[in-house]
Chains A and B, each alone.
Chain A
């Protein structure tokens, strides 16, 4: 079965500092990978998805970027954090159903101060 690792779990960073969140996947090859953001009390907003190494699609124009340097590694970054970047970030990979997200990581909660 698939396992998703996300780190760090939490972090506190000042406005204007860079951000890097990492996600790695075990138990599958060539997965579709996704980054979601969840605001407090809200649903999940798709930020980026990737169907392969170096292939990134952005859903929401914003202060963030994503990269996929290896088949099972997905990175979310920001050069300069904004207060609005606080939230809960979730990495996900497709499950048994093609092109659907079935497995989520435990999430990373950056707090921008």
Chain B
């Protein structure tokens, strides 16, 4: 069945450095790729998304890239801050009712 793999499971960076989280998906019909940030004890919050007709999207310190051929997409956070520490989830959707989520990456930003 459909699958989304996410790496790494844990990522620790120094404040100010960049963080990159990578995901691969199996369903070539996937056309929408959201990223969520989940803080402790809270629900996930959509932070950025990208559609299959776009290769890259940027929003301030956050950017997402998509390689449809390789079925890879990545989240890039630049100039990381302690408040960026959270669990990040990637997901892939074919536009139907099912969105497949990755297992999550726990990001630690050390001050």
**Does A70 belong to the interface (CB within 8 Å)?**
no
Chain A 51-78, CB within 8 Å of chain B: the 1/0 string?
Answer: 1000001010000000000000000000
Q: How large is the interface on B (under 10, 10 to 19, 20 to 34, 35 or more residues)?
A: 20 to 34
Do A98 and B95 form a contact, CB below 8 Å, given A43-B89, A43-B101?
Answer: yes
In the assembled complex, the CB of B98 is this many whole angstroms from the nearest CB of chain A, namely 6
Question: CA separation between A68 and B43, bound complex, in Å?
Answer: 21
**Does B61 belong to the interface (CB within 8 Å)?**
no
CB contacts under 8 Å to A, within B51-99, are 89, 93, 95-99
**Does A35 belong to the interface (CB within 8 Å)?**
no
In the assembled complex, the CB of B36 is this many whole angstroms from the nearest CB of chain A, namely 8
Q: Which of A44, A57, A98, A105 has the most CB of B within 10 A?
A: A44
CB contacts under 8 Å to B, within A94-110, are 95, 97-107
When C-beta atoms are compared, the residue in chain B nearest to A36 turns out to be B101
A6, A59, A95, A106: which contacts B46 (Cβ < 8 A)? A95
27 A-B pairs in the complex with CB atoms less than 8 angstroms apart: A6-B43, A42-B103, A43-B4, A43-B89, A43-B103, A43-B104, A44-B89, A49-B97, A57-B97, A90-B44, A92-B43, A95-B46, A97-B49, A98-B95, A99-B95, A99-B97, A100-B32, A100-B93, A100-B99, A102-B49, A103-B46, A104-B43, A104-B45, A106-B41, A107-B41, A107-B42, A107-B43
Known interface pairs A43-B101, A95-B46, A100-B93; 13 further A-B residue pairs with C-beta atoms within 8 A, sorted by A's residue number: A41-B104, A43-B4, A43-B89, A43-B103, A44-B101, A46-B99, A49-B97, A97-B49, A99-B95, A99-B97, A101-B34, A102-B34, A102-B49
